[in-house]
Structure 1
Amino acid sequence: MRPRLASLLTAAVLALLPGTARADATYPDPQPLTGEQIIHDPTVIRLESGGYVAYSTGGIIGARTSEDRTHWDDAGNAFTTPPSWWYAYNDTGDPWAPDLSYRAGRYWLYYAVSSWGTNHSAIGVATSPTGLPGTWTDHGKVFGSERTDSWNAIDPAVIRADGRLWMSFGSYWTGIRMVELDPRTGKAVEGATVHHLATRPDAPYAVEGPYIVEHGGRYYLFASYDTCCAGADSTYRIRVGRSTSVTGPYVDSTGEPLLEGGGDLLLAGHGRYVGTGGESIFKDRGRDVLAYHYYDAEDGGTPKLGLNTLTWTKNGWPDLLRGRGRP
């Protein structure tokens, strides 16, 4: 028997044995990392000065830094103390799900303040000349939601499109929304229309954490579906749709609208990498990189940083680079 055939047959037999772990053939594992890997809802950027910084839910927006995108160090928090206005939305001054970008010579950090299970929520913004922790100046509330609204103002993500600035956001409460921002202040324009981008057919409309990128003249909406924050029991997965307009409508590769529950599955849990979601995308040397968290089933469900290079098919749909190493 040829060695390759023997190897395939052995793998097939092992896959049928109870309790036997096997690599998933559909989804690639994240890039191997070292150092401080614990993170939740990561946003990552390659700094103008070189190196990388990642911010996340936890602490007063937890920070990680890296020189090579492989080894990560704990860098404390974005802020030394919570801005006082945060306490109107929770008792702990605890921010969630930041979004980091660079424009007009400054770094912009968007984040959410809320409490579990309520849409009494707000999105805030801060700026920094370097993007590093401890250098942020907070500028207050960008946009909010109340219990009478049908949306939840958390999980912000900002994109420039057609000379205008937009922010997608949303979690449950009928799904993903978008408003236009004033590029000078970084805050929602007065009386901004709240566009509806994606939802699920039935309550509780479990879709959140949007992120939009432009590629090949189209806009791609990535979002996290199903259950977050349950450790190894989490069912988070990343789906995607696209549109010729940043405000939608978004559809998947079969033409099903994301407003009707559509969305191509890009990444789901596999092996030890459970509940993949909380995603964002950043540019690194001309390549798109998907950042997300997963819950490590071999480490008590601890949330950790996942990074995969994002590729694009001939039909213009996103895919993930196979193989564990960096390109």
Structure 2
Amino acid sequence: MPHISPLKRAVSACALALALVTGSAHAAPWSLSGSLLTHDPDIVKSGSTYWIFETTGNAGIGVKYSGDGHAWTQGVAIFGSGLSWWKTYNPSSTPAQVWAPGCIEISSTAACYYAVSSFGSQKSAIGLTTSAGGIAAGKWVDNGAVITSASGNTYNAIDPQPVTDASGNLYLSFGSFWNGIYITKVDKSTFKPTGSWTNIAKDTSAGVENSFILKHTYSGTTYYYLFASKGSCCNGSSSTYHIVVGRSTSITGPYYDKNGTSMMNNGSGTTIASSGSRFIAPGGESAISDTIMAWYALDNQASLNPILFINNLSWGSDGWPAALW
């Protein structure tokens, strides 16, 4: 994601709710208040506190928190002064901005992955930071880069997202444009990738990125659902971002959309969120289990500022998630 412009005016929860025209019968997104400016929100619940890790217009990894998931407060950024090694992958970044964090807690240790890059470049890195005692402890330690990419690679080392499978094994999905999204197994003690990579989603025409995988059981079978953002995120009012989904019985795929088309084929993915009249280009999705999803969209009435949305995930009788709005 590129640098985000400051919020021009406050956006009230009432205005958000009234502006949405969902065209569907299920519940509208939650009413939210407080600090709602965000890009690529990664939502995590630890104990009774909701956390969002995000791309922001400021330095470091942006952090928000909430006691109820509705009223949000901007917290202190992780590595707000930047890290020296980031300059290798984005030498011109001022402030020291990083993108699209993906975080998880395992055995009282929090791990956050994030991307260091510049817009349209393959000179990218996925960084790792860990906090002993979990997210709330805030004891973030730099673990350096765990995946890197360069011009000519088939992948781009951005948009990392950790996920556990039904057996408790840890994986990391990542990637943007080029050959799309990959997944690799991760060592649960070091939080560093190990083993081979598998290409699980590809779209060389529109691009695919910002993966998020979750588990959901349907008719006695555990499925893995791959959510992704497709199209252009950051082309002003012409942005075409939208959220799609496919599923598989294996975390490493193959993933198919509702029509049975492989997520490795251009044009695949079942759309669950697209542009409305006021809020356009939804993307950067993440979820808590298979119950709640967060994403952002651009506000046509506020200088295309990126605004946080959260809604319950509704599941149809066919085992597929319903539209988000």
Give the TM-score band, short-chain normalised: 0.7 to 0.9
Amino acid in the other structure paired with 1:56: E
Indicate if the aligned counterparts of 2:258 and 2:270 stay in contact, CA closer than 8 A.
yes
Cα separation, 2, equivalents of 1:80 and 1:195: 33
Displacement after TM superposition at 1:134 (Å): 5.1
Indicate if the aligned counterparts of 2:225 and 2:248 stay in contact, CA closer than 8 A.
yes
| Structure-2 residue corresponding to 1:141 | 145
1:310 is aligned, of 279, 289, 313, to: 313
Decide whether aligned partners of structure 1 residues 233 and 321 sit closer, same or farther in structure 2, where only a CA change above 3 A counts. Answer: closer
Q: 1:53-82: CA deviations, max 9, x gaps? A: 211012211111111111111113122322
| Structure-1 residue corresponding to 2:30 | 31
- 1:41 aligns to 2:49 (yes or no): no
Displacement after TM superposition at 1:231 (Å): 3.7
Unmatched 5+ stretches in structure 2: 1-18
Displacement after TM superposition at 1:28 (Å): 6.2
Amino acid in the other structure paired with 1:55: F
SS of 1:32's equivalent? coil
2:298 is aligned, of 292, 295, 298, to: 295
| Structure-2 residue corresponding to 1:51 | 49
| Structure-2 residue corresponding to 1:215 | 216
Cα separation, 2, equivalents of 1:319 and 1:309: 10
Indicate if the aligned counterparts of 1:123 and 1:142 stay in contact, CA closer than 8 A.
yes
Indicate if the aligned counterparts of 1:36 and 1:74 stay in contact, CA closer than 8 A.
yes
SS of 1:86's equivalent? helix
Amino acid in the other structure paired with 2:180: G
2:129 is aligned, of 120, 126, 131, to: 126
- 1:276 aligns to 2:293 (yes or no): no
**TM-score computed with the length of structure 2 as normaliser:** 0.85
1:242 is aligned, of 232, 239, 247, to: 247
SS of 1:87's equivalent? helix
Cα separation, 2, equivalents of 1:98 and 1:244: 26
Cα separation, 2, equivalents of 1:78 and 1:320: 33
Amino acid in the other structure paired with 2:148: G
SS of 1:318's equivalent? coil
1:176 is aligned, of 177, 181, 206, to: 181
Decide whether aligned partners of structure 1 residues 29 and 268 sit closer, same or farther in structure 2, where only a CA change above 3 A counts. Answer: farther
Cα separation, 2, equivalents of 1:108 and 1:22: 35
| Structure-1 residue corresponding to 2:15 | none
SS of 1:76's equivalent? coil
Cα separation, 2, equivalents of 1:56 and 1:24: 25
Cα separation, 2, equivalents of 1:321 and 1:95: 27
Decide whether aligned partners of structure 1 residues 30 and 22 sit closer, same or farther in structure 2, where only a CA change above 3 A counts. Answer: closer
**TM-score computed with the length of structure 1 as normaliser:** 0.85
Unmatched 5+ stretches in structure 1: 1-20, 323-327
Displacement after TM superposition at 1:45 (Å): 1.3
| Structure-1 residue corresponding to 2:85 | 85
Amino acid in the other structure paired with 2:43: V
Indicate if the aligned counterparts of 1:78 and 1:132 stay in contact, CA closer than 8 A.
no
Q: 1:103-149: CA deviations, max 9, x gaps? A: 12111111011111111111111112241485311211111112121
Displacement after TM superposition at 1:259 (Å): 0.5
Cα separation, 1, equivalents of 2:87 and 2:138: 20
Cα separation, 2, equivalents of 1:54 and 1:24: 24
Cα separation, 2, equivalents of 1:163 and 1:70: 30
| Structure-2 residue corresponding to 1:15 | none
Q: Which stretch shifts more, 60-69 or 78-87? A: 78-87
Cα separation, 2, equivalents of 1:153 and 1:104: 27
| Structure-1 residue corresponding to 2:16 | none
Decide whether aligned partners of structure 1 residues 133 and 94 sit closer, same or farther in structure 2, where only a CA change above 3 A counts. Answer: farther
Paired-residue identity, %: 36
SS of 2:63's equivalent? strand
Cα separation, 1, equivalents of 2:38 and 2:137: 15
Displacement after TM superposition at 1:164 (Å): 2.2
| Structure-1 residue corresponding to 2:10 | none
Amino acid in the other structure paired with 1:76: V
Structure with max Cα Rg: 1
Displacement after TM superposition at 1:291 (Å): 0.6
- 1:165 aligns to 2:163 (yes or no): no
Q: 1:186-214: CA deviations, max 9, x gaps? A: 1111xx322111112x44x5111000001
Indicate if the aligned counterparts of 1:125 and 1:139 stay in contact, CA closer than 8 A.
yes
| Structure-2 residue corresponding to 1:188 | 193
Indicate if the aligned counterparts of 1:232 and 1:296 stay in contact, CA closer than 8 A.
no
- 1:102 aligns to 2:105 (yes or no): yes
| Structure-1 residue corresponding to 2:74 | 74
Displacement after TM superposition at 1:297 (Å): 1.0
How many residues are treated as equivalent by the alignment?
294
